[in-house]
Amino acid sequence: MNNWKEAFFRFLKVGPIYVFLTWGTWKYLFYLLLQDTSFGIAQFLILVIAPYFLIRYIHKGLKKQP
């Protein structure tokens, strides 16, 4: 019972960062779609891939915690 509570509170600490990252990413994506440049596409890929790995890393860290 204590386990999921701890995980939940840990998520509350990380959650806002996650939401900020994803919201910032989506806002930037729409901005890039309006710009429509090859440089924008490269940045788009970086912005999508970086948060994905960060979230996976955070998720793994949450699972590893006793």
- Tell me what percent of the residues of the chain surpass a pLDDT of 70: 79
* pLDDT at 65 > cutoff 70: no
What pLDDT, in 10s, does the model give residues 11-32? 777 777 777 777 777 777 777 6
Q: What letter would DSSP give residue 66?
A: -
The model scores a pTM over 0.85:
no
Sequence letter at residue 32: L
Q: What average pLDDT does the structure give for the chain?
A: 73
Q: Any residues with CB less than 8 A from the CB of 65 and at least 6 apart, and which?
A: 6, 7, 10
What is the reported pLDDT for 16?
72
